[in-house]
Amino acid sequence: MSDLGHVLVLAGGLSYEREVSLRSGRRVGEVLRGAGVSVETRDTDASLVPWILSERPSAVFVTLHGGAGEDGAIRSVLDLLSVPYVGAGSDACRIAFDKPTAKTVVRSVGVRTPESVTLPKETFHDLGASAVLARIVERLGLPLFVKPSRGGSALGASIVRTAEDLPSAMVGCFAYGDTALIECYIEGVEVAVSVVDLGEGPVALPPVEIVPDDGVYDYAARYTAGRTEFFAPARLSAETAAACAEMAVTAHTALGLRDISRTDLIVGADGLPHFLEVNVAPGMTETSLLPMAAEAAGEDLGSLCRVLLEQAAMRG
């Protein structure tokens, strides 16, 4: 057995991504046990804090997606309990989880990201939806990509190719959040670049190319086996792959992230990558991108997770 001691994997939560989180938690628990680590997996309910105070795990691996899992809230509680955890601190999570804020931060260090408009639901209604949406199309052009400013798994996200489709896209977006991020949609190759820091600074794993069967990488395409084809490493030129890796590491660093992250990019027809968003608690399911990237890099997922937990434990 590992000398790490007893560790906790947090999975579940109450976000729209609960089921994905439970799958991530199961996978992380399995690979850690395979790496000789003693693991307890728990949900975020009223029994969590008393259990932590009683059992005092050596470190926590957070596999909560969306909501409290990535907005820094649960990590703030872990900080209060003086329990170390894998991943970014609560302050960095709050910045990274809000997509418009993250775009502003990475743009300030020279990272290319699509032009966009952020629109709260109240503004959308109070100023007259049709007038506001007409100005958005006039300013940004078409096609557009609409998504909630917070959250993940493509919930509430959609491509808009005609002005007539924009109102329904906004309604769908507002079903999952109170603020919409409307971006210029860039046709190209979808790529995810995971970044890990195993003690010698952040390093990009091989980029993973995403090819959904119907052209849209939505919730079903992400979590239904066979709905999406993945290439790890991505079918990119060496120059473009290096640019993607550099962009992911730059975003990770600029946002003050730690240990692990995943940056989602789109590579345009000109071969240039564009930053879309960053994930502080990347999915770890059987169809998730970080495990694919780790395998492409020749890394054992269980060993990688164990090292991350060991580093976290040392911070405690």
Q: Which residues pair with 41 in a beta bridge?
A: 9
**Whether the Cβ atoms of residue 182 and residue 117 lie closer than 8 Å to each other:** yes
103 and 224 share a domain? yes
The answer on 158 and 134 residing in a single domain is yes
Kindly state whether residue 312 falls inside one of the protein's structural domains. Answer: no
Q: Is residue 127 part of a domain?
A: yes
Domain end marker among 131, 158, 184: 184
Same domain (yes/no): 76, 137: no
What number of other Cβ atoms are within 10 A of residue 63's Cβ? Answer: 30
Percentages helix, strand, coil for the chain (3-state, rounded to 5) are 40, 20, 35
- Is 255:102 a contact under the CB 8 Å cutoff? yes
Task: Evaluate whether 222 touches 279 at the Cβ level (below 8 Å).
Answer: no
Confirm whether 146 is domain-assigned: yes
The CATH number of whichever domain residue 28 belongs to comes to 3.40.50.20
pLDDT of residue 67: 78
- Which residue ranges make up the annotated binding site? 264, 277, 279
Residues 144/160, Cβ–Cβ less than 8 Å: yes
H/E run at residue 211: strand 208-212
pLDDT of res. 223:
66
Q: Which domain holds residue 11?
A: 6-87
How many helices (H) and strands (E) the chain has is answered by 13, 13
Query: Is the same domain home to 201 and 281?
Result: yes
> How many Cβ atoms are within 10 Å of 104's Cβ, its own excluded?
14
15 and 79 together in one domain = yes
Kindly calculate the radius of gyration of the chain based on its CA atoms and give it in whole angstroms: 19
Paired residues of 277 in beta bridges = 264
Do 22 and 120 lie in one domain? The reply is: no
The Cβ of residue 54 has, within 10 Å, a number of other Cβ atoms equal to: 7
A 10 A CB-CB count for 200 gives 6
* CA torsion angle 105 108 112 116 (round to 10): 60
Amino acid residing at 19: E
> In terms of Cα–Cα distance, which of 284, 244, 235, 237 is closest to 260?
284
- Bridge partners of 158, per DSSP, are 146
Alpha-carbon distance of 261 to 114, in angstroms, equals 20
The structural domain count of the chain equals: 3
pLDDT in tens, 198-223: 999 999 999 999 998 876 776 676 76
Kindly state whether residue 129 falls inside one of the protein's structural domains: yes
Indicate the annotated binding residues for Mg(2+): 264, 277, 279
pTM across the whole model: 0.93
Q: Within this chain, do residues 58 and 29 fall inside the same structural domain, yes or no?
A: yes
pLDDT score, position 153: 65
Q: Looking at residue 1, what is its pLDDT? A: 44
* Residues 101 and 200 grouped into a single domain: yes
Question: By the 8 A CB rule, do 58 and 7 touch?
Answer: yes
Residue 40 resides in a domain: yes
The pLDDT tens digits along the chain (316 residues) read 457 899 999 999 988 889 989 999 999 999 999 999 999 999 999 999 999 999 999 999 999 998 778 899 999 999 999 999 999 999 999 999 999 999 999 999 999 999 999 999 988 777 778 889 999 999 999 999 999 999 766 788 999 999 999 999 999 999 999 999 999 999 999 999 999 999 999 999 999 999 988 767 766 767 677 788 999 999 999 999 999 999 999 999 999 999 999 999 999 999 999 999 999 999 999 889 999 999 999 999 999 999 999 999 999 7
Active site members = 17, 153, 223, 262, 264, 277, 279, 283
Same domain, residue pair 179 and 287: no
